[in-house]
Amino acid sequence: MKKRYSFQDISLICNRQIFFDANVILYIFWPTGQYTWAQQYSSIFGQLIKQKNELATDFIVISETLNSVIRIEYQKYLNEHNLKNDDCKFKGYRDSKDGKEALNDIYNIIRAKVLTNFSIIGKNFQKSDIETFLSVDSLDFSDKAILSLCKENNCVLLTNDKDFTESDIEILTSNPALLRNNE
């Protein structure tokens, strides 16, 4: 297992590229009741900008973020209108005036906050990569792609996802489960 960094260790990764996972982008730009995580990751984000780290993400993470946020907005809409999923299906909401306004707001935040502050890195995944990802372990399919990107680009992964506990990359986190057994 590679090194794990907490907020107090940020100065140790001053000149490193930091890859942001979707959960962290959500905590920073769409806090939804997880105040402690939102506050901690917003502080990390601010410190990384202050020390001029290169911030990175990719298409996979942006897609996961967009899909999560529109689902969050859908649930908020159902709650605000005292509706159940059967009363208003997700695709009906997404195609409605309210859904389109929510998507427009989400896209504007991605443009203004993510695309202006982050480098977009990526990889043309090959058949051999996909075959490697088709194994049952603690990481979901897109997490395996993120792990591959971080390894290939020598990035430190900023995540709150404890599924990365056994991953052999460097991780910056506020999650105590990821910081346990730090080498």
* CATH number, domain with residue 15: 3.40.50.1010
Judged against a pLDDT cut of 90, whether residue 32 lies above it is answered with: no
* 105 pLDDT tier (thresholds 50, 70, 90): very high
CA distance 83 to 156: 42
pTM above 0.85, yes or no: yes
Instruction: Report pLDDT digits (tens) over 35-65.
Output: 799 999 999 999 999 999 999 999 999 999 9
| Percentage of residues in the chain having pLDDT higher than 70 | 97
How many domains are contained in the chain? 1
Residue 169: the pLDDT is: 95
Look over the chain and give the mean of its residue pLDDT values, rounded to a whole number. 93
Judged against a pLDDT cut of 60, whether residue 183 lies above it is answered with: no
12 is in which domain, residue-wise?
Answer: 4-179
Closest CA to 4 of 152, 130, 150, 181: 181
Closest CA to 62 of 13, 21, 11, 104: 21
